[in-house]
């Protein structure tokens, strides 16, 4: 951990009692700050409040009182999910109070080698693969943290200058990380996500580009080279560009040619040996390989990881095989693009479980994928009628169920040996579940109840 004094004697407000907020509040006390912690909800577990107060932190719960804007805070550390049009946040913006996220705080105290990953899809898988690959050859600690569910600042506290940290960073986190400078930054892809938060696609892209904004030619930006738009986005970085591509050969980076993965013209391994299924996971592997090779990792270490790693939970996760049916949990597919690539990963008939929060869009884009890959569909949630319309256009049998749990036995009734039963909703979970993680966990529980087996 790097010793810093910029918070000594400063008055800091931490907004949000998530894992990152609580860790940030305690860290700021160690750094000499006078800390107030605020959450609009009242925690069900009073231990959280007691622990904060025991550390000398003033705690305010139950709302975000606008009066806090008049208390002279030097800095606000905001939970990434709190939008900037929140009245209290907007008041701080208006008066020019610096607003950062816990990721910025983590960067400020981190003293090692930083690799950071962002993108619309594939962040967690790429982060995990990168950490595993670098760790295979490392003589020092290699950890991961960030949007993957582990506090950046908490892990950074325990690392030294020779250690490596691989961080997954969302656009929300990056908006509040103005000085972050990873030595290796990865952009997996950029689609049109979170426009309810960012308002425009350009705002979303600009937030993503914070990952490379402070990089120089001595740093590296590993970026997907499969779309012209992403190649143009790369031109906005001052870093050394390292492309990865499933579709375009580039001797400057990682690419696929005739079923073989290459790094700068040298063979690494066949794509068929990657245990993770689907073209999106080839892309994730290419991004991780580029970062790993830039970090000095051997081909043998890369092969070991890619031939054994079976996937991150809820991200095209293999659950089990039962009576010659394969069950996959892809609850993290909360947009159309993610479900498109999930379906392309299977050469067996798919019974698709899909639906969720209605964000106002329709699903015509999925019709060609339904025609090619889907045997039957079970739809649920607010957008079930729109999902049904797309299935009907594809000529796929569609039935309705209450949710992702009740859909499991319905899918079983429609299945035959050799089929895949896939939860890949193409929609957020919030109409019926508090998170995609809960939705995926409940799906797995339903599969276990159906089969009498535990996930593998």
**Domains of the chain in sequence order:** 11-100 (3.40.50.720), 103-308 (3.40.1190.10), 317-450 (3.90.190.20)
Condensed to tens digits (0 to 9), the pLDDT of residues 108-136 reads: 999 999 999 999 989 999 999 999 999 99
pLDDT band at residue 199, thresholds of 50, 70 and 90? confident
Residue 25: pLDDT over 90: yes
Q: Which two tokens stand for residue 298?
A: 């051997």
Q: CA nearest 443: which of 410, 409, 405?
A: 405
Q: Which two tokens stand for residue 326?
A: 């394969």
Residue 456: pLDDT over 80: no
pLDDT band at residue 354, thresholds of 50, 70 and 90? very high
pLDDT averaged over the chain? 95
pLDDT band at residue 337, thresholds of 50, 70 and 90? confident
For the residues 32-42, what does the mean pLDDT come to? 96
Structure letter (DSSP) for residue 265:
T
For the residues 15-38, what does the mean pLDDT come to? 96
By mean pLDDT, which of 234-243, 245-254, 390-399, 420-429 is the weakest? 245-254
Which of helix, strand or coil describes residue 194? Answer: coil
Residue 419: pLDDT over 90: yes
Q: CA nearest 176: which of 62, 92, 52?
A: 92
Q: CA nearest 221: which of 244, 201, 205, 204?
A: 244
DSSP tally for the chain: helices H, then strands E: 17, 20
**Residue 173 host element (H or E):** helix 171-175
Whole-number pLDDT of residue 326: 95
Whole-number pLDDT of residue 251: 82
Q: What would you report as the CA-atom Rg of the chain, rounded to the nearest whole angstrom?
A: 23
Residue 193: pLDDT over 80: no
**Residue 116 host element (H or E):** strand 113-118
Condensed to tens digits (0 to 9), the pLDDT of residues 41-65 reads: 998 888 999 999 999 999 999 999 9
């Amino acid at each position: 951990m790097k010793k810093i004094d910029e918070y000594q004697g400063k008055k800091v407000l931490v907004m949000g009692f998530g894992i990152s907020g609580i860790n940030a509040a305690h860290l700021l006390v160690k750094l000499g700050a006078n800390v107030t912690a605020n959450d609009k909800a009242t925690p069900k577990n009073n231990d959280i409040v007691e622990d904060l107060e025991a550390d000398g932190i003033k705690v305010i719960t139950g709302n975000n009182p606008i009066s806090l804007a008049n208390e002279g805070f030097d800095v606000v550390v905001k939970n990434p999910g709190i939008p900037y049009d929140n009245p209290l946040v907007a008041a701080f913006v208006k008066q020019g109070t610096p607003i950062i996220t816990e990721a910025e705080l983590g960067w400020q105290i981190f003293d090692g080698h930083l690799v950071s990953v962002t993108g619309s899809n594939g962040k967690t898988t790429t982060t995990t693969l990168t950490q595993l690959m670098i760790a295979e050859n490392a003589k020092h600690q290699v950890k991961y943290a960030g949007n993957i569910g582990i506090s950046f600042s908490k892990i950074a506290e325990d690392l030294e200058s020779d250690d490596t940290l691989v961080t997954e960073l969302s656009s929300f986190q990056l908006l509040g990380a103005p000085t972050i400078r990873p030595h290796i930054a990865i952009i997996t892809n950029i689609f049109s996500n979170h426009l309810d938060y960012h308002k425009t696609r350009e705002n979303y892209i600009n937030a993503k580009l914070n990952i490379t904004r402070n990089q120089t030619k001595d740093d590296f930006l590993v970026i997907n080279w499969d779309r012209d738009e992403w190649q143009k986005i790369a031109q906005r970085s001052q870093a050394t560009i390292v492309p990865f591509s499933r579709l375009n050969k580039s001797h400057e980076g990682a690419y696929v040619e005739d079923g073989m993965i290459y790094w700068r013209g040298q063979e690494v391994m066949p794509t068929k040996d990657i245990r993770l299924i689907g073209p999106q996971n080839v892309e994730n592997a290419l991004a991780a390989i580029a970062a790993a090779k830039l970090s000095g990792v051997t081909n043998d270490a890369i092969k070991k990881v890619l031939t054994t790693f079976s996937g991150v939970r809820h991200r095209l996760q293999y659950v089990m095989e039962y009576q010659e049916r394969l069950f996959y949990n892809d609850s993290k597919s909360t947009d159309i693009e993610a479900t498109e690539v999930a379906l392309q990963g299977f050469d067996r008939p798919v019974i698709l479980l899909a639906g969720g929060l209605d964000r106002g869009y329709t699903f015509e884009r999925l019709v060609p994928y339904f025609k090619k890959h889907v045997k039957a569909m079970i739809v649920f949630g607010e957008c079930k009628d729109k999902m049904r319309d797309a299935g009907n256009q594809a000529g796929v049998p569609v039935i309705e169920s209450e949710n992702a749990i009740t859909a499991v036995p319905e899918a079983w009734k429609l299945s035959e040996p050799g089929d895949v039963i896939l939860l890949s909703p193409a929609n957020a979970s919030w109409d019926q579940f508090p998170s995609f993680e809960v939705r995926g966990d409940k799906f797995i529980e339903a599969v276990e109840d159906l089969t009498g087996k535990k996930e593998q």
